Amino acid sequence: MKSKFVVTVEFGETDPAAIVFYPNFFRWFDASAWRLFAKAGLTFDVFREEFGLIGAPIVEARSKFIKPLRFEDSIEITSYVASWKQKTFNLVHEVRKDGEVCAEGLEIRVCAERLKDGSQGIRAVPIPDEIRKRLSADD
């Protein structure tokens, strides 16, 4: 399963060099991840109510920035799960402008639940089969 997310670069996302300030790419990756999850029926409410999870927090994130983006550019972000381990999965985010790759992102995420001790702590749990299945379904 792949999701497509179209973003228009906003004025406030660009810097004095008139190019996108790079942390915004990671904001877009997170937003694109949630669109992929939603496409798989995994909204924030479903994570909490059906699976007892607080969501799928990040343990690692990376991006290569290949071509700079400017205000008013329109980009398309293609997101999908590239691989699974027992407790982590790798999400790939390809950013294209006019079909050309501008950035390649990777997020390594876990499924996490609140600790039962009443603290605000969280811990990773084995990825539920149902979550893996939904994110691996055909488009």
Which residues sit at the interface with its own copies, rule CB under 8 A? Answer: 10-12, 14-19, 21-24, 26-27, 30-31, 34, 38, 43-44, 54-55, 57-65, 68, 70-72, 112, 120, 122
The Cα–Cα gap between 46 and 62 comes to 27
Strand 58-65 and strand 74-84: the pairing is unpaired
Closest CB to its own copies among residues 51, 65: 65
CB of 10 to its own copies, least distance (A): 5
Other Cβ atoms less than 10 A from the Cβ of 9: the count is 19
Closest CB to its own copies among residues 16, 99: 16
Residue type, 19: I
CB of 117 to its own copies, least distance (A): 15
Element (H or E) spanning 41, and its range? none
CB of 106 to its own copies, least distance (A): 9
Closest CB to its own copies among residues 38, 137: 38
Element (H or E) spanning 139, and its range? none
Closest CB to its own copies among residues 86, 119: 119
CB of 16 to its own copies, least distance (A): 4
**105 touches 62 (CB < 8 A):** yes
